[in-house]
Amino acid sequence: MTAAVARHAIVPRREAAFAGTRELVRLIVRRDRVALGLWVILMAALPTGLVSAVEQGYPTEADRVAFAAGAAVNPAELATRGPVFAATVGGLTAWTIASSAVLLGGVVNILLVVRHTRAEEQAGRRELVGAGVLGRYAPLAAALVVVTVGNLAIAALVTAGLVAAGLPAAGGVALGLAIAAGGLLFAAVGAVAAQVAEGTGAANGIGFAVLGVLFALAAAGEVSRSWLVWLSPFGWSRRVQAFAGEQWAVFGLFALATAVPVVAAFVLSARRDVGAGLLAARPGPATAARGLRSPIALTWRLDRGGILAWTAGLTLLGLLLGAAMASIGDQLDTAAFRDLTGTLGGGDPAEVFFRFILYVLAQVVTAFGLATVLEMRGQETGGLADAVLATPVRRARWAIGQVAVAATGVVVGLAGLGLGAGVGYGTPLAVMGTTLAYAPACLLFAGLAVALYGWAPRLAAPLTWTVFGLVLLLDLVGEFGLADASVLGLSPFVRTLGPLTVGSGLAGALLVMSLIAVALVAVGLAGLARRDLD
């Protein structure tokens, strides 16, 4: 009897299913210690930094009350952040950060869980590790343990930072737990997506699509003041009411909504073959067609499931937003919002509302593009790049194929979002140009990822995601007027929203960002040509 058989003979069956979890947790932490550390520190620093921003931007109670009154009649602010429950330093901090932290944390948690489950299977490492004493549930359990510890660490650091800043401990605990609970819920969504899809890109696409739909539900519910807000974790994170009479019962919704997909993920993982997804790939012909005999065709074949799922999700999201724009037209037709619309270049109030929502959704689209581009590193470490480059294929051609497919995912996704919103609103092509205007901003980050991958492949992912997070932080700081126009102009999203708002200068801004993105890709290709692979 081998050692493995003997072990399973004496270990209870349930315990054997989780055998090796501790070792895999240590492996994940060892591999991703830099990225995990940056994620925890950045997420924990955001709320504490905003306390100082609120105190400096609105030093008196009268200033804070006036700000809260303005936010209460601004449907765009309601859609993205919800109502202000308390015009205090703590209340405005929670109002500003709760939804943004859940959005950013959701993206990171989906990526982490998919990376350490589906990506490991796709690269063949799961099968290799499984040749030892490893339970069926161990890889999924290890990934969930790591993200759980990471989210709890964020909650603890957020609480400590807010208390150190002089805010009530109860509010700090509530806000920290709301951020952590939102992250864990989307980790559970990523776990299910990793069981359903057979490719990493498809799994990420499903997870991001769910995130976008839930954000849109909360936005529509906030503006229409309907029960829709209770269908989304974004609405729950606001209804925790940190620093405004904390509602602890809301965490019961988080617990239930997280437990169900976690259990589903474990059940599904036991009902499929290792390396396969519930949505099995169709077997192809024995000989590839001529159109598939190129690096870009191979990349498209690997990622098309994710891009199609992603596009379908964004189109559905657009339909929901378009229907919301049509149904809340009377609510948007207020004196306060008409005045706001006038300061933002005028136009249909519903389209102004959509521009605000699009500003946030463009950041989700950027995350999808980044994840697709950074798959190059996984292909390099997993050996697929070696197999491709062993043929008469140059490195630049292989990398350009990956970039082209990522760009396709971004552009097609934005087009689907615009088309869906236009159909839902009753004017099919009216807003597609607005959504596509964000493509250069999204692809600029993809270009940065390529540049870093070419010269510093191990640091490409953590550094790119850190820069992306810092840009989101810059947007939050701009909310309180603590950054002048020259600093805010560093954000590609601001560079896009500004011309869209005033109605001029858009072509020049898009051209400059496109040229920068192309230049960054060229820099990355030069670095890739000069270094050894892995």
Residue 7 predicted with pLDDT over 50: no
Q: Which residues contact 369 (CB under 8 A, 6 or more apart)?
A: 406, 407, 409, 410, 442, 443, 445, 446
Report long-range pairs for 388-392 (Cβ below 8 Å, ≥24 apart): 388/295, 388/298, 389/533
Tell me the per-residue pLDDT of 94-121, one tens digit each, with 9 for 90 and over: 888 888 889 888 988 998 999 888 888 8
Tell me the per-residue pLDDT of 351-387, one tens digit each, with 9 for 90 and over: 777 777 888 888 888 988 898 898 888 888 777 788 7
Residue 3 predicted with pLDDT over 50: no
For residue 363, give both structure tokens. Answer: 């950041």
Q: How many CB atoms lie within 10 A of CB 227?
A: 9
Distance CA 98, CA 242 (A): 9
4 — pLDDT class (breaks 50, 70, 90): very low
Q: Residue 334: its pLDDT value, please?
A: 59
Higher pLDDT, 72 or 416: 416
Q: Residue 505: its pLDDT value, please?
A: 83
> CB-hemisphere CA count at 13 Å for 106?
30
For residue 376, give both structure tokens. Answer: 């190059």
CA separation, residue 367 to residues 144, 157, 327 (Å): 21, 25, 30
For residue 244, give both structure tokens. Answer: 């405004």
Number of H helices and number of E strands within the chain? 26, 0
Distance CA 421, CA 426 (A): 8
Distance CA 104, CA 206 (A): 16
Whole-prediction pTM: 0.78
Mean pLDDT of 166-183: 94
> Got the DSSP string for 41-99?
HHHHHHHHHHHHHHHHHS-SHHHHHHHHHHHHT-HHHHHHH---S--SHHHHHHHHHHH
Alpha helices for 374-394 (secondary structure H): 375-382, 384-389
Distance CA 28, CA 464 (A): 20
Indicate the burial class of 391 (C-beta count within 10 angstroms; 0-12, 13-18, 19 or more).
exposed
For residue 496, give both structure tokens. Answer: 């896009």
Cα-Cα-Cα-Cα dihedral sign, residues 156, 161, 163, 167: negative
Dihedral angle of Cα 399, 402, 407, 412, to the nearest 10 degrees? 160
347 — pLDDT class (breaks 50, 70, 90): low
Higher pLDDT, 232 or 426: 232
Query: Structural domain boundaries of the chain?
Result: 13-279, 294-534
Q: How far is CA 422 from the centre of its chain?
A: 24
Higher pLDDT, 16 or 188: 188
Amino acid at site 392? P
- Percent of the chain past pLDDT 90, that is, above it, reads 29
